[in-house]
Amino acid sequence: MKALRAFARMLESSFRLIGVLTLAVGVAAGQQTTQEAAPEEKSTTTMQPPAGSPVTLEELIREVEQRNPDIAAAQLGYQAATHVAGQVSAFPDTQVMVQHFAVGSPRPFAGYSNSEFAYIGLGASQEIPYPGKRGLRAQVANQEAEARRFQADSSRRSVVDQLKGIYFRLAYLQETLGVLERNDEVLRDVQKITESRYSVGQGNQQEVLKAQLQHTKILQEITMHHREVGQMQAQLKQLLNRVQDNPNIQTVPLTLRSIPYTASQLMELVKQQNPDIKAQQQMVKQSESQVELSRKEFRPDFNVQYIWQHTNGDTRDYYMATFGINLPNRGRRKAELAQAEANREQAKRMLEGEQQRRLAEVQDQFVVAETSAEQLKIYKEGLIPQSEATLRSAQAAYQSGKQDFETLLNSFLDVLGLQIEYQRELADHETALARLEALTGVDLR
């Protein structure tokens, strides 16, 4: 019996040992799997939001013009303003009257049958404005409606300008994401070189750590890009009146456009076609018409009234026509005229200020576009090719031990920085052209 108990204890100890060994093997296998999967966790493709096929800017412009609620609201506001002229130029409401004259009692129709003085009357009254007032009121209303039309066009251009700015920024982010990923691959090659040199005793651990640090910085930059892309997508869908959980919008790569106009030609186009200036010009015309109407208000209005009275008995019916004149209060009219003249001068100054603001903005954006085009040429033909050649030379020199790692890393950072700066400058150039299009109303494509 004791032998059996000893044998059982031996089996139990054996099973415990096997369990410990199995657990150790499982932990080791898990650690190895984690280490092998670590590079996949760093993959940037899983961080990218879902996107559809590339969409051109022209397609989005057509969509935003049809679906944007701000554009629709501005257009409806203009349509509502077109109905004001018919209201203010119409004759005042006609008054229809029913009269009853009783004798001997306040009750309705009391005494009508026993008194020849009692009667029932029907009449109508109409106010007639002085000739020319109704036409001037319609003119003021039509000029205000025309100003609303230009304001609606300005609202449309403003929304399209916002759309273009977001589209160009999104295109910049998508292009720089590719730049970061390509340069991260280059950095991986550099990291392999540092590790290989370190393994044979030609390098030091600091070089390996610096390469790993730079790789981590690129991953951080990619993450920040994804966040900004998400913000731009939200703003773009809001302008397009799309549901936010719709697929993300993929942009078409930007291309450099030239300006077929001089600064003087663009400024002339602004004076002729800018909706904000045109709206302010209509406000000046409206204020001038308002001054003319205020002067006309010194003229009296008229009132015409006609009443038919039917009496009881043998007394004949009465027919009464009345013509009245409404004499205006000259003190009030003088104050209204002074206000209209002050509003006219204010509108003229506002027009002058609006023109100066728009002309200055055109000049500013034209300078930005011109200098940006020159910068892009320098980047494309000089800085970027030179930096890439320097990086290739530094890689070869470092691998052969003729150059230090710091020089190689600086060359890599130069390439990365210049490529990103090129994409940023291209987006700024296209944004400046988009602003010029909004100001002048011309298509610079």
> Tens of pLDDT along 98-121?
988 877 777 776 666 666 777 888
- Domain for residue 46, yes or no? no
> Tens of pLDDT along 115-158?
677 788 899 999 999 999 999 999 999 999 999 999 999 999 99
Could you list the residue range(s) of the whole structural domain that residue 264 is in?
51-92+131-297+330-440
- Domain for residue 346, yes or no? yes
Residue 267 banded pLDDT, cuts 50, 70, 90: very high
Helix axes 405-440 and 330-378, enclosed angle (nearest 10): 150
C-alpha to C-alpha distances, 244 to 64, 232, 233, 410, nearest whole angstrom: 15, 12, 8, 42
pLDDT at 202 over 80: no
Question: CA-CA distance, 437 to 435, in Å (whole number)?
Answer: 5
- Domain for residue 315, yes or no? no
Query: How much of the chain exceeds pLDDT 90, in percent?
Result: 52
Residue 213 belongs to domain with CATH number: 1.20.1600.10
Q: Cα-atom radius of gyration of the chain, to the nearest Å?
A: 42
SS3 401: coil
Question: CA-CA distance, 208 to 403, in Å (whole number)?
Answer: 15
pTM (2 d.p.)? 0.77
- Domain for residue 354, yes or no? yes
Question: CA-CA distance, 391 to 409, in Å (whole number)?
Answer: 9
- Domain for residue 198, yes or no? yes
Residue 182 banded pLDDT, cuts 50, 70, 90: confident
Domain count, the chain: 1
Residue written as token pair 């066009």: 153
pLDDT at 38 over 80: no
- Domain for residue 289, yes or no? yes
- CA 25 from chain center: how many Å? 60
- Domain for residue 365, yes or no? yes
Instruction: Kindly tell me the burial class for residue 142, based on how many C-beta atoms sit within 10 Å of its own C-beta (0-12, 13-18, 19 or more).
Output: buried
Q: Which is nearest to 415 in space by CA: 392, 394, 384, 377? A: 384
Higher-confidence residue of 29 and 412: namely 412
- Domain for residue 147, yes or no? yes
Answer whether 220's CB lies under 8 Å from 210's CB.
Answer: no
